[in-house]
Amino acid sequence: MPLSVGIVGLPNVGKSTVFNALTAGKAEAANYPFCTIDPNVGVVPVPDPRLRRIQAKIATQKVIPAIVEIVDIAGLVKGASQGEGLGNKFLANIRETNAVLMMVRCFDDPNVIHVAGSVDPMRDIDVIDVELSLADLDSLEKRLKKAQGAAKTGAKEGKAELALVEKVHAHVAEGKPARALALGDDERALVNTWGLLTTKPVLYCCNVGETDLPNGNAWSDIVKARAVKEGAGVVILCGKVEAELAELAEDDRGELLASYNLTEPALATLARECYRLLGLQSYFTAGEKEIRAWTVKKGALAPEAAGVIHSDFEKNFIRAQVYGLGDLESYGSEGAIKAAGKLRVEGKEYVVQDGDIMYFL
């Protein structure tokens, strides 16, 4: 299953509009069954021009891009951590995702009532952060009691975990997300197993009005500044425009895009940013039947990448034949790359690079 990103936000910020546009099915590669898995889960293609460049040199029956799973999570309200609204369902749904796409309302429309009565993106973000932090504090307090009990036995591991829980608890109690706490690699790996909501990486999505494209407005500028301070990503879009674009075939979008000074739908940027947010990269396989982007974590070794295709490939991995898109474009075919001595043979310790074209043996 692909890693997932949860769209989070207050009511009436445009979450469902953007989700519906993302999963509308007007995908770059028509042969892939992009679809909604259930009423609030969909798989979204990650646009990658390298696929078309490979196809220009290798004739194929279909092209399959990488995907990200997007979850449209019920709108949050103040008090969700205490069960207000759909609070418990909301928090449970976020816990099951790998990252958070925080949808922020940066448009004014008298026909779309804001739940708090006025547009204030920083207030809205703070409401969400507080609810997630309160839910984490509840989890940490339970973990703290267990860790205190374990530490009383005198076990070295128990004392170390107690110290770590206390450090994270103190940080979150100050209203800071757990992801912002400086931790060692081993500490971070352990904390990531605790199911805390504020450990998840965040991408801010500013939903602006049509006249504010493509660069946003004063409200989105404030969100950008916050994102820079936090080291988070940010995407500017207009949900209404993206919904219109999603209804058009790719070849028919040019005029509408040009009217807003856009070179591509903002949702393409959003999909790529979600991919980056999850720490993912693509390698490719290319043959007569299909050219396909496969998803691996950055830093993955060759056997792990082979296992994405099939578990037996990882178990029985011997070596991988690898070349780059630049070589394919220079020499014209895999055979010519091999004849020129540019086809590399890599073993089990090879770290897969973004954009590698691979064949496993």
pLDDT tens sequence across 289-332: 999 999 999 999 999 999 999 999 999 999 999 999 999 999 99
Angstrom distances, CA of residue 65 to CA of 24, 290, 321: 16, 10, 21
- Tell me the pLDDT band of 34, cut-offs 50, 70 and 90: very low
Q: Which residue has the higher pLDDT, 226 or 91?
A: 226
Q: Which of 14-28, 30-44, 232-246 is the least confident region? A: 30-44
The DSSP annotation for 33-78 comes to: ---EEETTEEEEE---HHHHHHHTTS--SEEE--EEEEEEPPPP-T
Domains and CATH numbers, the chain: 4-49+56-121+199-277 (3.40.50.300), 128-198 (1.10.150.300), 299-360 (3.10.20.30)
**What percent of the chain clears pLDDT 90, i.e. is strictly above it?**
66
Q: Is pLDDT above 90 for 142?
A: yes
The pLDDT tens digits for 244-295 are: 999 998 899 999 999 999 999 998 999 999 999 999 999 999 998 999 999 9
CA distances from 357 to 27, 38, 60, 147, 292 (A): 22, 33, 15, 47, 10
Sheet holding 62-64, edge to edge: 62-64, 290-297, 280-286, 357-360, 320-323, 344-346
